[in-house]
Amino acid sequence: MTLTLSDLPSVMPLDVNPVPWARAQMAFTLAFHIVLVPLGVSWAAMTLIANYRAIKRKDVDALRMAQRWSKYMAVTFAVGAVTGTVLSFEFGLLWPQFMGKWGEAFGIPFAFEGLFFFIEAVFISIYIFGWRRLKPWAHFWTGVPIPMAGILGSASVVAANAWMNSPQGVTLDASGNITEVDPVGVILNEAMPLMATHMIIAAYLVGGFLIASVYAAGMLRGRMDRYHRLGFIISFTVAAVATPVQMGVGDGLARWVYTNQPTKFAAIELVPQTGSDEPEILLGRLSSSGQVEGGIAVPGLASWLSDPSTGRGTVIQGLDSFPADERPTISQVNVVHLCWDIMVGLGTLLFLFSLWYWASWIFRRDMPRSRWFLRGAVIGGPLAVVSMEAGWTLSEVGRQPWIVYNQMKVADAATTNTGVWLTFIAVTLLYAALGTTLILVLRGMSRRGRERDRFEDTDTPYGPPAPAGGSEVRTR
Amino acid sequence: MSTAAAVLLMVAVTFYAIFGGADFGAGFWDLTAGSPERGRRPREVIEHSIGPVWEANHVWLIFVFVVLWTCFPEAYASIMLTLFVPLTLAAFGIVLRGASFAFRKAVTQVRDQRIFGGTFAISSVLVPYCFGAVAGAIASGRVPSGGRAGDPWSSWVNPTSIVVGVLAVCVVAYVSAVLLTWDAGRLSDEEMVAYFRVRAVVVAVVAGVVAMAGVLVLRSDARYVFDGLTTRALPLVVLSVLAGVGAFLLLRGRPRRGARVAALVASGALVLAWGVAQWDYLLPETLTVSQAAAPAGTISAVLVVGVLAALLIAPAFAYLYTLHQKSLLPDEGVDEGQQPPSRSARGAQRNS
């Protein structure tokens, strides 16, 4: 028997429903990318803080810090650029029907994102080149566009995601196809301002806690020098400023969801039936019959938080006021509620931690010296990442079953290619290797940085080439 | 309006082919440079010549996607559905290449550098082949309109796709060999000038043979594009050939700067010729540009971004290249690592 290429799919076990695999792959690659984003957005700002201090106070430690951070930042940015490029493939490879129908609106923010991304890449390169080629202040100013482009770029991406929650700026004909697009309306959709602010502040919060945890670990191992102290103070201060702001923004966003996405809000607050005086339920879950099980109920708090002006009398729409196929399933509701608990719980913990830090500065004019504080700071970074991932998961799962809220369902948007399970496995393995290598490489760079104690701009992506004959010789 | 979007799309495709292509080509020569010992010097020239932001050249690809999915969403859906396999392979290649790029310079052990270098080189060949195959699939009308999927395999495993894929690898290798010859000349490395010059000639001959074969294949397999190439796109084809030959003439003796430009023109004109040849179809003979176009609001937003990009990115790039050429600031006689305590931050910045 001879086989042709078109027989291949029937020979291999490729005939698998692509929808769950497409969702899994998108979720996994985004979950990976979203960890790199904070570093790309906020690390540049922290590097500039160190750089500013280095010039202003003639601080050699701060200078060394800025130089090293700029190199680590370039590595994480390069990996983030790759995982971001993959996402632009995946929009089409996994969600062709979604892009085919809504691309003319949803795609617009990405045009701006591409622009900001390129500006960021060029200026990272200029900044790294500039260490040894520009005068200090001129060099400092070439770094300023990096965090600005990072902020605008993430605002653009979040604008696209916000549009999926709040699809505005489009005119539809009777059969639901787009006839006209108002680009400004698409970008500045109602969900965008709060969602973008929430994400950008999260970038500073997570980036700050993550970097601080590295320096806290160093200090616990006895590296109590000025350099480690400085690295900790810069990063932790950024995080400790971002955390209280984030709680305010998050509160505003939750109220926006209450008003505009009642299905998501009902899932967040675990409200099966419409009613007033709804309790805030910590932990707990919906049983298969749709009743709340377990958890600690704080009477009336969910209603009160939703709209303090009407207090405990505020009515929250329950899941039962929507048809079953237009709201999240029970297991999705449980995921959303659990993620909400994790996000808010860890956020509160980090907030208390920030208070400890501020109190110490106010009363003792120094950062806390307790080893328990440092131990907490070590886990603060991972906790902040978990909190951010939980927040993003609740936003995405809470929108289910919709990919475009009230317009298109996820199941109708996915590719018909049945081989997605294979690409999912390949992507998972590849990203696992990528993540491991990233951490190993950063650790290696940090170790060499400690041993070498001088700055080289040639061993960095986006940096200048090594002088001919240099790189290979140095390695022997 | 839709024409402007199509022009923008073609500009982005061309820039990706030129700048991204030169990057991929450098990877090709890295792959073929042989063992670490034998390939050391060519690899040094490659290392020296690659542009500072080179992996960021994928931004052109992202622009291509963005313009496609905003301005021509239906065609985008069809392409991504039909060509799932080669595009997935290309995405994997880009991840591997980008990751190797990020890590290769940051690791110091020769063994690690070889792993990243090898991954980098292999994916440098895989990705242009896949994109060539995708272009061949589109040109030969194997992508249906209407956001539907064509055949997942024969759409890109067919004579046109194979020949265009091979041609893409040859062209990026050729362009890169010319750039590397010039760079070796700038480093006054006569041996490497000869090394890359020979390779440029060989790969150009191969590209010429593949192109001739390609003409025959297109004639039977992609008639619309063949007719376009022999009529309205003919000037561009001629320009591409002339520039390709011209680059050689400029490489004789001491390599001249014009050789770089000529090589870039050669590859750019070829890509533009494809675009002009299949005008005014986006997906030949099923979907025209104007049929596929999104509403005016979308297209104007994308055009605004195109103008902004030209205004903001071009000067930033120019600045980066002047920095690239600029020599290091003087060291003020302080040895690295032995810093006098009273040194000012400004001195520290210069010296460190």
Least-confidence region, from A186-195, A215-224, B97-106, B248-257: B97-106
Residue-level pLDDT at A1: 45
Residue-level pLDDT at A200: 93
- Residues B105, A458: C-beta atoms closer than 8 Å: yes
**Residue B106 binned pLDDT confidence (cut-offs 50, 70, 90):** low
For residue B264, the one-letter residue type is L
- Residues B308, A464: C-beta atoms closer than 8 Å: no
- Examine residue A401 and say whether the peptide bond preceding it is cis (omega within 30 degrees of 0): yes
- Residues B109, A475: C-beta atoms closer than 8 Å: yes
**Residue A330 binned pLDDT confidence (cut-offs 50, 70, 90):** confident
Which of B63, B346, B349 is facing A114, going by the closest CB pair? B63
**Residue B349 binned pLDDT confidence (cut-offs 50, 70, 90):** very low
CA distance A419 to B256: 50
Helix B159-186 / helix B234-251 crossing angle, nearest 10 deg:
30
* H or E segment to which residue A427 belongs: helix A420-452
Evaluate whether B147 touches B77 at the Cβ level (below 8 Å): yes
Among chain A residues, CA nearest to B114: A472
DSSP A238-294: HHHHHHHHHHHHHHHHHHHHHHH-HHHHHHHHT--S-BSSPPEEES-EE-TTS-EES
- Residues A5, B154: C-beta atoms closer than 8 Å: yes
Residues 6+ apart with CB under 8 A from B36: B110, B114
Which of A82, A129, A454 is facing B52, going by the closest CB pair? A129
Residue-level pLDDT at A439: 85
Average pLDDT over residues A35-47: 88
CA distance B219 to B101: 40
Cβ-based burial of A222 (10 A; exposed 0-12, middle 13-18, buried ≥19): exposed
CA distance A233 to A268: 35
Per CB-CB distance under 8 Å, the chain A contacts of B92 are: 426, 430
**Nearest C-alpha of chain A: how many angstroms from B206?**
28
**Nearest C-alpha of chain A: how many angstroms from B234?**
33
**Nearest C-alpha of chain A: how many angstroms from B78?**
8
Per CB-CB distance under 8 Å, the chain B contacts of A63 are: 345, 348-349, 352
Give the whole-number percent of chain B exceeding pLDDT 90.
15
3-state DSSP assignment of residue A188: coil
> Does the pLDDT at position A358 exceed 60?
yes
Residue to test with chain A: of B95, B300, B308, B328, most A Cβ within 10 A: B95
Per CB-CB distance under 8 Å, the chain A contacts of B324 are: 129, 464
Between the CA of residue B232 and those of B40, B130, B210, B221, B277, what are the distances in Å?
46, 27, 22, 19, 7
Between the CA of residue B35 and those of A26, A63, B31, B334, what are the distances in Å?
39, 40, 9, 39
Mean pLDDT in chain B? 81
CA distance B253 to A160: 54
Residue-level pLDDT at B327: 62
- Residues A118, B55: C-beta atoms closer than 8 Å: no
State the DSSP code for A365.
Answer: S
pLDDT tens-place string over residues A44-55: 999 999 999 988
**Nearest C-alpha of chain A: how many angstroms from B69?**
5
Which of A92, A448, A476 is facing B76, going by the closest CB pair? A92
Least-confidence region, from A282-286, A436-440, B342-346: B342-346
- Residues B70, A104: C-beta atoms closer than 8 Å: yes
Between the CA of residue B276 and those of A232, B130, B139, what are the distances in Å?
58, 22, 11
CB pairs under 8 A between A and B: 299
Which structure tokens are listed for A185? Answer: 């309306």
Residue-level pLDDT at A202: 93
* Helix intervals (H) in chain B: 2-15, 21-31, 40-49, 58-71, 73-82, 84-104, 110-139, 159-186, 190-221, 223-230, 234-251, 257-277, 289-292, 296-325, 345-351
Give the whole-number percent of chain A exceeding pLDDT 70.
92
Evaluate whether A85 touches A117 at the Cβ level (below 8 Å): no
Which of B61, B106, B319 is facing A441, going by the closest CB pair? B106
- Residues B48, A465: C-beta atoms closer than 8 Å: yes
- Residues A88, B346: C-beta atoms closer than 8 Å: no
Residue-level pLDDT at B331: 37
Average pLDDT over residues A136-159: 91
> Does the pLDDT at position A247 exceed 80?
yes
Give residue A177's Cα distance to chain centre. 32
Among chain B residues, CA nearest to A128: B52
Residues 6+ apart with CB under 8 A from A448: B108
Q: β-strand B287-288 against A296-298: which pairing, if any?
A: unpaired
Per CB-CB distance under 8 Å, the chain A contacts of B336 are: 454
Residue-level pLDDT at A194: 92
Among chain B residues, CA nearest to A119: B313
DSSP B259-274: HHHHHHHHHHHHHHHH
Residue-level pLDDT at A46: 93
**Residue among A10, A129, A192, A29 at smallest CA distance from A462:** A129
pTM of the predicted model as reported, rounded to 2 decimal places? 0.85
Model ipTM? 0.81
- Residues A461, B105: C-beta atoms closer than 8 Å: yes
Q: Which residues pair with A180 in a beta bridge?
A: A171
Per CB-CB distance under 8 Å, the chain B contacts of A465 are: 47-50
CA distance B267 to B17: 7
- Residues A96, B80: C-beta atoms closer than 8 Å: yes
> Does the pLDDT at position A465 exceed 70?
no
Evaluate whether A66 touches A56 at the Cβ level (below 8 Å): no
- Residues A468, B45: C-beta atoms closer than 8 Å: yes
Average pLDDT over residues A274-298: 82
Among chain B residues, CA nearest to A446: B106
**Nearest C-alpha of chain B: how many angstroms from A472?**
8
For residue B82, the one-letter residue type is T
Average pLDDT over residues A363-370: 85
CA distance B240 to B236: 6
CA distance B270 to B135: 12
Residue-level pLDDT at A457: 59
Mean pLDDT in chain A? 84
Which structure tokens are listed for A87? Answer: 């996402």
Residue-level pLDDT at A159: 93
Evaluate whether B282 touches B144 at the Cβ level (below 8 Å): no
Among chain A residues, CA nearest to B44: A468
Which of A6, A183, A460 is facing B154, going by the closest CB pair? A6
> Does the pLDDT at position A331 exceed 70?
yes
Evaluate whether B181 touches B200 at the Cβ level (below 8 Å): yes
> Does the pLDDT at position A255 exceed 70?
yes
Among chain A residues, CA nearest to B184: A468
- Residues B339, A122: C-beta atoms closer than 8 Å: no
CA distance A109 to B84: 24
**Nearest C-alpha of chain B: how many angstroms from A206?**
22
3-state DSSP assignment of residue A179: strand
Which structure tokens are listed for B11? Answer: 């500009």
pLDDT: which is higher, B147 or B344: B147
